[in-house]
């Protein structure tokens, strides 16, 4: 039987890699594609929908719908647009769903997949950072399966296999250090969005590349580890490993450490989630240790990368602080992309949001309510926007 799947964020970096693997693994012969969602790149979305015989193609943007309809005229492929249409399409029955929309906008797709008891391949780390407790409780309630696609979390998931959670002593997340690993604070102050969006090791979307440069990406990932592997914040460490060959490590009670190594190619973790529990051949470059010659490590500098400290603060605060952290970070990045604020100011703005008394009153709200999460997300964005408008 053909496996029924949907891909949310199909036109993005993760989405295109997912489509690539599906094509290599037999395409429409082996997979029945239900929904594909995209954003502005209507041509690519239409191409993917035709190639994969999708039931429905959805663009996030209402104004793009006429163009999408034109491109898919007489194909029999249904079209739709907007956040609600994406949420609706995520409730259509599938066996496996990829959640790869960027930002908190990806939450509805993750919840739609989980609530129908399917396998959620989770690239959208924001779902966990903003709504970790709710998402995991829904996975259990609906007998769904959550497979992390973030490379570090896939590595940890694989390194943990068959070991009792209580035997885990520490989890070490590796970070490439991004393009500004060796920049001074003064240099970092001057950084432009174009410089921040170029990653030395991974080919990713614009926003996650900028998050990697500020280490906000690693900060989100630390919070993601805490929820996914239910450990304490003091068990989670971050180490800079510029070669990006070790994707993360798990240390056990007996002192043994397990590291996951591989080429820096997201088709590794995506393919693992697609084929789980099997390991099928994947088109990844194989490691040549003689050529690698050395793997190096260094501690991240807290002065230049304050995002990490803020992540530990969020883990201590708990409640809805993850949603405040993510939303204020997204709003700060919007401002950075528009040239309204500097690169280092993003962390300053997020810290101000975490300090704000009004937002702090709401942080104690219901972590199991998607409404409460959406409300505090909007409040945190408004808070950052007001700060920026007032200079
Ligand atoms: P991307 O920018 O390349 O693609 C994002 C996708 O989401 C596109 O299909 C876009 O059309 C869609 N999209 C954008 N805004 C939207 C909105 N408001 N509503 C609905 N759809 C929208 O991003 P990416 O690099 O593929 O990352 C996707 C997710 O995966 C992010 O959460 C990111 O943190 C995570 N992730 C990515 C990588 C990577 O290597 N790219 C690695 C680990 C985790
Ligand atoms: Mg990652």
C-alpha to C-alpha distance for 193 and 211, rounded to whole angstroms: 11
The strand order across the sheet containing 257-261 reads 236-240, 168-175, 246-252, 257-261
Ligand 1 pocket by C-beta < 6 Å: which residues? 9-15, 38-39, 60, 86, 100-102, 105-106, 123-126, 150, 202, 204-208, 266
**C-alpha R_g of the chain:** 20
Residues 136, 249 within the same domain: no
Q: Are residues 143 and 159 in the same domain?
A: no
Residue 281 falls inside a structural domain: no
Q: Are residues 122 and 166 in the same domain?
A: no
Residue nearest to atom 11 of ligand 1 (CA): 39
∠ CA 78-32-64, nearest 5°, is: 30
Residues 215 and 186 in one domain: yes
Closest C-alpha to ligand 1, atom 42: 150
Query: Which ligand lies nearest to the CA atom of residue 151 in the structure?
Result: 2
347 lies in which domain range?
154-264+288-389
The closest residue, in CA terms, to atom 40 on ligand 1 is 204
Q: What is the pLDDT along the chain (391 residues), one digit of tens a residue?
A: 899 999 999 999 999 999 999 999 999 999 999 999 999 999 999 999 999 999 999 999 999 999 999 999 999 999 999 999 999 999 999 999 999 999 999 999 999 999 999 999 999 999 999 999 999 999 999 999 999 999 999 999 999 988 888 999 999 999 999 999 999 999 999 999 999 999 888 889 999 999 999 999 999 999 999 999 999 999 999 999 999 999 999 999 999 999 999 999 999 999 999 999 999 999 999 999 999 989 999 999 999 999 999 999 999 999 999 999 999 999 999 999 999 999 999 999 999 999 999 999 999 999 999 999 999 999 999 999 999 999 8
CA 148/CA 111 separation, integer angstroms: 14
Tell me which ligand sits closest to the C-alpha of residue 81: 1
Strand-strand pairing, 236-240 and 168-175: parallel
Same domain, 112 and 169: no
pTM above 0.85, yes or no: yes
Backbone angles phi, psi at 33, to 5 degrees: -85, 120
For residue 270, being part of any structural domain is answered with: no
CATH number at residue 173: 1.10.1740.10
Count Cβ neighbours within 10 Å for each residue of 14-43 and write b for 16 or more, e otherwise: bbbbbbebbeebeeeeebbbbbbbbbebbe
Which of 103, 127, 148 finishes a domain?
Answer: 148
- The CATH number linked to 123 is 3.40.50.720
Atom 23 in ligand 1: residue holding the nearest Cα: 205
Quick one: which ligand is closest to 334's CA?
A: 1
Q: How many domains does the chain have?
A: 2
User: Does residue 276 lie within any of the structural domains?
Assistant: no
């Amino acid at each position: 039987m053909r496996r029924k799947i949907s891909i949310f964020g199909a036109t993005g970096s993760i989405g295109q890699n997912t489509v690539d693997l599906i094509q290599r693994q037999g395409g429409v012969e082996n997979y029945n594609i239900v929904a594909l969602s995209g954003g502005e790149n209507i041509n690519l979305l239409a191409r993917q929908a035709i190639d994969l015989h999708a039931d429905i193609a959805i663009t996030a943007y209402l104004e793009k719908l006429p163009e999408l309809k034109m491109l898919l005229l007489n194909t029999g492929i249904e079209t739709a647009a907007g956040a609600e249409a994406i949420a609706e399409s995520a409730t259509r029955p599938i066996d496996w769903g990829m959640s790869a929309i960027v930002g908190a906008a990806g939450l509805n797709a993750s919840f739609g997949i989980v609530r129908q008891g399917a396998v959620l391949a989770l690239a959208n780390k924001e779902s966990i950072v903003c709504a970790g407790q709710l998402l995991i409780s829904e996975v259990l309630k609906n007998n769904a399966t959550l497979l992390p696609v973030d490379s570090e979390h896939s590595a940890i998931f694989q390194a943990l296999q068959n070991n009792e959670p209580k035997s885990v002593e520490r989890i070490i997340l590796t970070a490439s250090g991004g393009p500004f690993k060796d920049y001074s604070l003064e240099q970092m102050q001057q950084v432009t969005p174009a410089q921040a969006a170029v990653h030395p090791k991974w080919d990713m979307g614009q926003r996650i590349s900028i998050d990697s440069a500020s280490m906000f990406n690693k900060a989100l990932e630390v919070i993601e580890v805490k929820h996914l592997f239910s450990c304490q914040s003091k068990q989670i460490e971050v180490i800079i490993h510029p070669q990006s060959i070790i994707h993360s490590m798990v240390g056990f009670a007996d002192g043994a450490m397990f590291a996951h190594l591989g080429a820096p190619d997201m088709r590794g973790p995506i393919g693992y989630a697609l084929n789980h529990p099997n390991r099928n051949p994947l088109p990844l470059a194989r490691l040549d240790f003689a050529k690698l010659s050395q793997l190096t490590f260094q501690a991240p500098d807290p002065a230049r990368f304050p995002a990490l400290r803020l992540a530990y603060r969020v883990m201590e605060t708990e409640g809805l602080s993850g949603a405040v952290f993510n939303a204020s970070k997204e709003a700060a990045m919007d401002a950075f992309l528009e040239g309204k604020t500097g690169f280092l100011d993003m962390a300053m703005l997020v810290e101000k949001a975490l300090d704000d008394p009004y937002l702090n009153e709401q942080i104690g709200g219901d972590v199991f309510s998607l409404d409460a999460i959406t409300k505090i997300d909007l409040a945190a964005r408004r808070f950052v926007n007001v700060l920026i408008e007032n200079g």
